[in-house]
Chain A
């Protein structure tokens, strides 16, 4: 199995994480170990086994389409580093 250093850096970037050179080395080895461990499952023939869709054997948990009060806007904005007229303010982003 294994994982390359480039893949580790790519995944780290996708998660917006920055690591030191030593950390990258360490995580590359650790992630490779984890992948190898899990890869043992590939030895089993699972072609006739229904996939486990969820760890809890449950399905169809619903709510009714009913409106309930939302949170007070003060609470919603409580942790905002910057706000203006009820909006969160963020650095300008253009999609």
Chain B
């Protein structure tokens, strides 16, 4: 029996405003505990929250970028529950009147474009942070994160595999980063993802019992947790056992999901409009003003890169995944107008270094000027492709000019035909037996001669030129 997964994702994106959503405390990460805290975020009696306008600007940005419908009236609501990271006893969120509903995010599945529809986008405040003591039965509470603005983005259950889930998250992160409203760092928790997942026999239209997955703080964790959960639910289904509706945590060490038994009280948040906050009204003018500030978005950029530079969809998708990388690519192509060569190098050498260090291109010493100078040296046969890779890692590390590295390390390639012909002629003369073999049809012997030339020139001979010269010499007479 074949099964398919039905997955919906709930993403929380921490916004990069300077101050919190309802008070003027700083949102900066990494401060000493409880130093970015005031009466408002601690819910002291008599205080009132006041909405940070920029949070609304950012929510409108994301709504526009995902083709969501922005509502003219939005209301904040209290979500009531007790937990030590929540000083007020409720979280200010949005319920029946969120800022935006609908919209979609486009992903690539194989060579197909697929739209993952959105249910809603809403604004809310983050909770504080708990640190659990390993030896004593206590937890430590830091309220610095309390009140940091979040956008919650809820997808329809349109996702059908772990790969699609990761593609969706990567595209959403790219959009958030293009808009410069969230830094998208999953490891640091500025982008968080929960998943709802159920399985059903392929072809069935009914939905199975869904399980909520939490604690996945990287793309890899999301992928692994979903893969595991599909296996687990499939096995239960095939054994005729019941799949229980519950919340499960991903255990990174063991690579499994574990039931969160104990706190399985049915959610009863008793949402109601927060009387401390007046309604939010967003008119067309506001939306238009924000629309004017939107950058070229990932999907549009991708289309343009394919059309303007003739990049394959696959290359374009990778290069536009980061706005900085896309800008780097375009700057390079302006200086060195061979897009495919530039993209090939970006997708191999450049991305290898970036991924290894977990950096973005603008955080490195590599500039479009240095990078294209290197590509030009290769193009002009001044260096071999092997030497080019060597020069590249040196440029990446040090930011030195490629030409300087070539000189310092003696990597210049010998391409001069006169010089190389003399060497080839000498070698042909010295090895009559091999020449004989070649002429009797064993063309592979040319490899022997190329090797000899390389030895003679300490590897600096341009293999293309050498091959051409040797063929000429061996074929003549």
Contacts and interface: CB of A to CB of B under 8 A. Distances in A.
A70 B281 CA distance: 29
A91 B139 contact: yes
Interface string B17-58: 111000011100000111111110010000000111111100
Contacts of B132: 92-94
B273 A54 contact: yes
B25 A67 contact: yes
A26 interface: no
Given A73-B32, A91-B139, A92-B132, A63 B24 contact: yes
Interface in B251-290: 260, 263, 268, 270, 273, 275, 277-281
B380 interface: no
A70 B275 CA distance: 24
Contacts of B268: 10, 14
Given A61-B50, A70-B26, A92 B137 contact: yes
A62 to B, nearest CB: 4
Given A62-B51, A90-B141, 10 more contacts: A61-B277, A63-B51, A64-B53, A66-B19, A67-B26, A71-B42, A76-B42, A87-B141, A87-B142, A95-B83
Q: Which 3 A-B pairs have the closest CB atoms?
A: A87-B140, A68-B24, A65-B54
A87 B35 CA distance: 10
Given A73-B34, A88-B141, A90-B139, A67 B279 contact: no
A61 B77 CA distance: 16
Interface of A is mostly: loop
A90 B133 CA distance: 10
A63 B18 contact: no
A38 B260 CA distance: 40
Interface string A12-38: 001010000000000000000000000
Interface of A: 10, 14, 16, 53-56, 58-68, 70-71, 73, 76-77, 84-95
6 contacts: A70-B38, A73-B34, A85-B33, A86-B35, A87-B34, A88-B140
Contact of A88 (B34, B97, B133): B34
Contacts, number: 129
Contacts of A76: 34, 37, 42, 143
Given A59-B279, A73-B32, A89-B140, A53 B73 contact: yes
Contacts of B52: 62-65
A95 B56 CA distance: 30
Given A88-B34, A95-B263, A60 B281 contact: yes
A16 B131 CA distance: 24
A61 B278 contact: yes
A71 B281 CA distance: 32
Nearest to B36: A70
B84 interface: yes
Contacts of A54: 273, 275, 278-279
Nearest to B22: A63
A56 to B, nearest CB: 6
Contacts of B26: 67, 70
Interface string B69-86: 000010100001011100
Contacts of A62: 50-53, 56
Contact of A14 (B38, B83, B263, B270): B270
Given A63-B50, A65-B54, A71-B38, A90 B84 contact: yes
Nearest to A90: B84
Contacts of B32: 73, 86
B130 interface: yes
A91 B137 contact: yes
A92 B38 contact: no
A87 B137 contact: no
A89 B138 contact: yes
A71 B263 CA distance: 34
Q: Which of A77, A94, A95 has the most CB of B within 10 A?
A: A95
A92 B39 contact: no
Contacts of A65: 17-19, 52-55
Contacts of B83: 93, 95
B34 A66 contact: no
A76 B140 CA distance: 14
